[in-house]
Amino acid sequence: MSTAHTVVEVRDLRKRYRLGVIGGATLGDELKVLLARLRGRPNPLVPLDGGMDAQREGEHFWALRGVSFDVQEGEILGIIGKNGAGKSTLLKLLSRITTPTEGTARMKGRVSSLLEVGTGFNPELTGRENIYLNGAVLGMDRSEIDRKLDEIIAFSGIKHHIDTPTKRYSSGMKVRLGFAVAAHLEPEIMIIDEVLAVGDAEFQRKCLGKMKDVAESGRTVLFVSHNMVSVKSLCDRVIWLKDGKVHMDGPTEEVVHTYLGSYTTMRSRVIWDEEAPGVPELKLREVRLDGLPADGVITTSDAFQVHVRFENLGFGEGEVVPAIHLLNGDDVVVMGSSVRDSLEPTTRFMVGTHEVCCTIPGDLLNVGEYRILVQFAHQGKVVLREAGTVAFEVHSTKRQGAWFGQRVGVVRPKLEWAVLG
């Protein structure tokens, strides 16, 4: 088939959820709501805090606010966006797990959706029995499974344990078996939710290869992911969902790049004029990031600097020691460092304005959000501590060999290795 031909048509899809208590938890609550409605009073069960969210409307929340797009046959479409942007809602609607409040979506051909691998596995049944059950749940019929059974078992790589109840499987084995079944579905349209983030490197490569095969055989894939690495290596086109709407739709490179650069969590410069944090003798004036990559997107291999400008108004005696703490998204202090690390012990910051600069090396921080806390000590006592300074996010856009997931650990330095024998 050479000419493009639309196989998925989504038109003005909207989904509204009720906030807070969904319906009455008990019949009594439901009666209260009914009574209030009859008297023309507001629903007594809706929480009263008035959020000013764009997606919020009274007691309802619009998870999707008019999403439209087309997908052509054979296209691999990536769907990205922050948590709460509507990705999972869109997936659930297209998978027919729930229904839209307004709008339509139409699809041509057999559709399989994989929101999870191994859905419906029963721990008491053997691997083989679960292949049949899982296959049937995903829409395969018995003869189809019979035909593909050997291939599925071979792909999963757990041939020796195939007649063991799955409750004795490790979680990795369950995932392998689940993906093996899913990979042998033959739908015209496949909807996938980040299943690639599991399994070991070798298995991921196998899965990715299988997905490429699926795509090359002319099938259409809708792939929802947080992982820009896999989106970049798989998709031709990307849709970026933001606040329940399509924010951007275009070629993968372009959309992913804009997406990564758009983070509002990035705060690369903070300046104080009045009400500067500090004590009468010492004021913090400015904290900023410097030496960032031209596009403003920090990746794990980039080095950059943290500048701290401060004013000593009255500490004449004794030394002032500036330091920074790096906190990650979980507020764990990843590390701390003071000027004592590398400056001459004789360096003094006398009365006046000073600026110090600390370099954070590349290949040190792992993917995630970070913020910097600035601290000053005077004669061994902390005199100033300011947490509301710069914040940034470290991204991964490059593949680490065969590995598509995130590296483990709070930090990810590249260490020296040697072969000794």
Partner 1 sequence: MNAGSTGARRTEGDWSIVIRPEQPWWRLDLKEFWRYRDLLVLLVRRDIVAQYKQTVLGPLWHVIQPLTTTFTFAFIFGKAAGLSPPDLPPVLFYMSGIVAWNYFAGVINRTSKTFVGNANLMSKVYFPRLVVPASMAVSSLVSYLIQLGTFLIIYGYYFFQGNDGWGPSPWLFALPALVALMALLGLGSGILVSSMTTKYRDLGFLVGFGVQMLMYASPVIMPLDRLSRIPWLLTLFKLNPMTPVIEATRAVFFGYPIDWGGLTYSAGVTVGVMLIGLMTFHRVERSFADIV
For residue 377, the minimal CB distance to partner 1 (Å) is 53
Residues 164-183 that bind partner 1 (CB under 8 A): 165
For residue 227, the minimal CB distance to partner 1 (Å) is 20
286 within 8 A of 270, measured Cβ to Cβ: yes
Helix (H, G, I), strand (E, B) or coil at 36: helix
Query: Of 36-44, 133-141, 326-334, 340-348, which segment contacts partner 1 by CB under 8 A?
Result: 133-141
For residue 186, the minimal CB distance to partner 1 (Å) is 15
Q: Which residues contact 106 (CB under 8 A, 6 or more apart)?
A: 8, 9
Q: Tabulate helix, strand, coil % of the chain (nearest 5).
A: 25, 35, 40
Q: Does 9 bind partner 1 (CB under 8 A)?
A: yes
CA 140 to chain centroid, in Å, comes to 31
Helix (H, G, I), strand (E, B) or coil at 305: strand
Looking at beta carbons only, is 133 or 153 nearer to partner 1? 133
Residues 111-130 that bind partner 1 (CB under 8 A): 111, 113, 115-116, 119-120, 122, 124-125, 129
**Residue of 248, 250, 249, 252 whose CA lies nearest to 262:** 248
Among 2, 83, 99, 264, binds partner 1 (CB under 8 A): 99
Among 38, 39, 52, 141, binds partner 1 (CB under 8 A): 141
Q: Does 329 bind partner 1 (CB under 8 A)?
A: no
Residues touching partner 1, count (CB under 8 A)? 51
Give the separation between CA 313 and CA 308, rounded to whole angstroms. 16
Among 36, 43, 59, 101, binds partner 1 (CB under 8 A): 101
Q: Does 41 bind partner 1 (CB under 8 A)?
A: no
For residue 368, the minimal CB distance to partner 1 (Å) is 28
Q: Does 157 bind partner 1 (CB under 8 A)?
A: no
Among 19, 36, 66, 103, binds partner 1 (CB under 8 A): 103
Q: Does 1 bind partner 1 (CB under 8 A)?
A: no
Looking at beta carbons only, is 111 or 228 nearer to partner 1? 111
Give the separation between CA 203 and CA 230, rounded to whole angstroms. 14
131 within 8 A of 163, measured Cβ to Cβ: no
Query: What secondary structure letter does DSSP report for 115?
Result: S
What are the two backbone dihedrals, phi and then psi, of residue 40, each rounded to the nearest 5 degrees? 70, 25
For residue 31, the minimal CB distance to partner 1 (Å) is 11
Q: Does 266 bind partner 1 (CB under 8 A)?
A: no
Q: Angle at Cα 207 formed by Cα 201 and Cα 212, nearest 5°?
A: 125
Task: Count how many residues are written for the chain.
Answer: 421
For the chain, the maximum distance between any two Cα atoms, rounded to a whole number of angstroms, is 87
List residues near partner 1 by CB under 8 A.
4, 6, 9, 17, 22-27, 30, 70, 92-111, 113, 115-116, 119-120, 122, 124-125, 129, 132-133, 136-142, 165
